[in-house]
Structures are given as C-alpha cells and as structure tokens.
Amino acid sequence: MKLVKILLCLFCMSISAKSFAQQDTSCNKIRKIYDGMYFMYFDSSNSKSTIIEFSDFLFLLEAPIIDLGGGAKELKDDIAGGEKILRTLKANFPNKPLKYFAHSHWHPHSISSVSPFLNNNVSLITTEENFKVIKTFADSNVISKNAEKIIFVPGDSLRIADSFNEVIIYRFDQKNFPSTPTKDYLYCYFPKYNCMHAACMYTKWMGEPVDGKQLLSGREENLYNFLKLRNIKPDFLIRLSHEKKEDNDMQPYEGLQNVNLNGIKSADIMDKYLSISSGVLKNTRDEIIRVAINKNIPTSIFNSCVYTELRKKEFERALDFAIIQAQVNPSDPNSWDTLGEVYYFLGEYAIAKNYLKHKKKMFPEVSTGGEEVWQKDLENFQKVWDKNK
C-alpha cells in the first residue's frame, strides 16, 4: 500500500512539473519592480515591456517580441507573440484586463504585434506618423474594424490616471530633436515612481572612454534637453534593453546627467575630422589611424564622415574616411561594406564586389548591405545631388 501511495505521489508530482513547464513556456517572464509596476521579459528579444497597474485595468508599454530596430527589412504582425503577451497578463493579473497598449516608435523592438491587442478590446496609443508604418504590416481588416480603438496622442501629451496610478505620455518629433530614430516618438513618465521610459532614445556608448572621456551620443543629449525643457528630473530612466548590472533593471538619472555635463560629443569629434583638408587627410592617413586607435575613436564617427562627404559628392574624401574606418576596426563587417559602397559610387564595380565577396567570407552570418542597398543609396543620393545643383 505504501508503494502505491509513493508511486501515486510521484505521478502527481510529474503531472505538476509538466503543467508548470508548459505554463512557463507559454508565457513570458514578469518581474515586479515597485507596487503597481512590472517588467516583462522575452525569450526572443533582449528588450522588455513595462506594465503599469491601475485600480481596474493594466497599461502595457512596448511589445518588443523581436529585437530589431529601424534596419528590419520585413515588418510583420507577430500574432503568436502578441497572444503570448496577452496570456502572460491574464495569468499574472486574472482580474484586471489590459486596457491600453502604447509604444514609443514603430521599430519592431518597440511594437512587433498589433492585431491581437485590437481584437481583444485593447486601445492602441500611438502617433499618426508611426501609425502610417504600422498600417503597412498589420491586418487592414482588423484595423478597420477597430478604428475607434486607435488613440493618437493629441498635441504633445496625453494623461491616463486614476486614484492608484498615473502615466503621462509625451510626444515629440525629429524636427526639434534630430537624433530621434523615427519622425516622431513617445516618452512615458510615471509620476508615482519618478521614472521616465525613454526606450532606445537612451543610447549609451558601451565602449572604452574616448580620448579619456565618456562619449555623449546625440540621443543622450536630446533626451537630457527634453527633460530639462519639461522640468522633469527622474530618479531612474527605463531603456528597452536589460540593465543586468542594475538592481532594478533601470538606469540612474545621474548617469545621463554626468555624460551631458562632462562627456565628449560624437558630433564634435566628427566635425573635427570633417574640417581636415583633403591634402592632409590623404597624406597623413596613417597618422590619423594611429591617433584614432590610441584615443578609441569609434568607427561610427568615420562612417558618419563617409556619408556626410557622399552627400556633398566629395567621393575622394569619402573614400579616405572609408579606408580609415576599415583600418581602425577591421573586425566590423560594416567597415568593409561601407568601403565597398564608396567604390560602387565611384563606378569601381569590380573593386566594390571584391570587398563584398571577402566580407561574406569573413562574416557569413551578416546579411546586411550589399549591391541592392548600395544601388538604393546611390539613387537617394542622386536626388540630393540634383537638388543641390
């Protein structure tokens, strides 16, 4: 009899373990940050969603099911991923429906799914510019049927609040903040926790100090200026990516403040290189490379110089910067793609294709760039050159 009980107990434990495993794989992971505030994590992405709990409903910010930015070639509505988000919320908050789903911009690491939310009576908070892109990959019938659930942030802000919690959504555009990755963008401020959700507008330099200083990105500068303009000084900033070194998975505001007050602007470094005369650029190229390596100048600076010169139709200067970029960081596949593109613009197709061939050998897992992209870039630059005639 004891043996039967033991076997029965083991059988039940096996069933429970299997059920838990099935439940675990069918839902995303949720972590409580504060009372009424949670992060949701994805197996398919290094980005996270933010959940704000109100008295009778939930507010979801971001659906980063796949970790791709503006370079994503094929945008699609990830139905299964969206349904998994809804299952996760239902399992963790059985008595509170999701009422609002907001996103910062149209890139897939911000919004990878739309239809499941609209079909489940959830209102989508977006902007008119971002929605123009969303309509290209979301089901048109679903959008048409749920048109009343599409909420565009009116003016420059939208407030959602009850007695328990509050969210203020700020809209701003690329005209006023040039480093914004899309035409317009949404920040979310949570007054109860004094937190600002900045998503990928808080892009930090993760490499070594540049010329002895922390590198200040354009997005960090724009974010800091926006907060000063709005007179907001949050305790923490929420980024899309996981902050594994931070206990609460957020960035202290002091980090953003310090880099803005004491860092070195990438734009200033770039202007310094662009001011070098063509003769000096060509004749002292090795010295420029040596100094760039010693000072940890990011190759992205030289990449930006390349395309700035191409925009001005300064092909030889663009080539010099592309060569510098490739020699400063030969382990970056983009360095070789950029060099090939400059030769393509020069009409040196055999050289361009040769760089592309070797790039594919060195970096077989990288599929970005190449002749099709170069040709599209050339056509776009041609329009710029025609305007400047």
Residue 322 CA, distance from chain mean position: 26
Give me the DSSP letters along 78-143: -HHHHHHHHHHHHHH-TT--EEEEE-SSSSTTTBS--HHHHHTTPEEEE-HHHHHHHHHHS-HHHH
pLDDT at 26: 87
pLDDT for 154-170, tens place per residue?
A: 989 999 999 999 999 99
* pLDDT more than 90, % of the chain: 75
pLDDT at 254: 95
pLDDT at 72: 66
Task: Using the structure block, give the residue that is written with the tokens 């303009």.
Answer: 229
pLDDT for 336-377, tens place per residue?
A: 999 999 999 999 999 999 999 998 999 888 877 889 999 999
pLDDT surpassing 50 at residue 18: no
**Of 86, 98, 145, whose CA–CA distance to 125 is shortest?**
98
CA distance 165 to 191: 8
Q: Which domains does the chain carry?
A: 26-262 (3.60.15.10), 266-387 (1.25.40.10)
Lowest mean pLDDT among 19-28, 44-53, 74-83, 356-365: 19-28
Q: What is the mean pLDDT of residues 46-62?
A: 96
Q: What is the mean pLDDT of residues 167-189?
A: 95
